Amino acid sequence: DTAVSQTPKYLVTQMGNDKSIKCEQNLGHDTMYWYKQDSKKFLKIMFSYNNKELIINETVPNRFSPKSPDKAHLNLHINSLELGDSAVYFCASSRREGPAFFGQGTRLTVV
C-alpha cells in the first residue's frame, strides 16, 4: 500500500534517448509535483499539477514534458537526454495544506 510510487528506481541510458518516469499516488491528493535533486542535494521544483492542470512550470527545458492522465498519476517524459540531466527525480503529492509525500526517487544516469 505504497503512498507515492514512482518507477523505475534506477535508469541508465545513453545521450539522445527518450525516457519516461511514472508516478502514482493513492492518497487522494489533488496536487502532484516533480522535483529534481542535483549532485549537491539541492531540491528544485520542476512542475506542479493540481487536479490534472499544470500550475507551475519552472525554467525547465522543453525536452521535459509532464503528463497527468488523472489526479492520481503524473508522468515525466524526457526527450533527447543530455549528460546534464543526470540527477535524482522525485515525484510528490499533497493536499492544499499539509506536507508533501515523496516517492522513492528515480536516479537517472545519462552516459
The footprint of another protein (CB under 8 A) covers 31, 33, 40-45, 48, 50, 55-56, 88, 90, 92, 94, 96-102, 104-105, 107
Residue closer to another protein, measured from CB, 41 or 70: 41
What minimum distance in Å lies between the beta carbon of 94 and another protein?
Answer: 8
CA distance 63 to 83: 13
Residue closer to another protein, measured from CB, 72 or 105: 105
What minimum distance in Å lies between the beta carbon of 33 and another protein?
Answer: 7
Residue closer to another protein, measured from CB, 2 or 80: 2
What minimum distance in Å lies between the beta carbon of 83 and another protein?
Answer: 21
What minimum distance in Å lies between the beta carbon of 80 and another protein?
Answer: 26
Q: Is the dihedral of CA 95, 98, 104, 110 positive or negative?
A: positive
- How big is the chain by its Cα radius of gyration, in Å? 13
- Asked whether 11 and 111 are in contact (CB, 8 A), the reply is no
- Asked whether 89 and 102 are in contact (CB, 8 A), the reply is no
Residue closer to another protein, measured from CB, 65 or 101: 101
Instruction: List Cβ neighbours of 61 (8 Å cut-off, separation of 6 or more).
Output: none
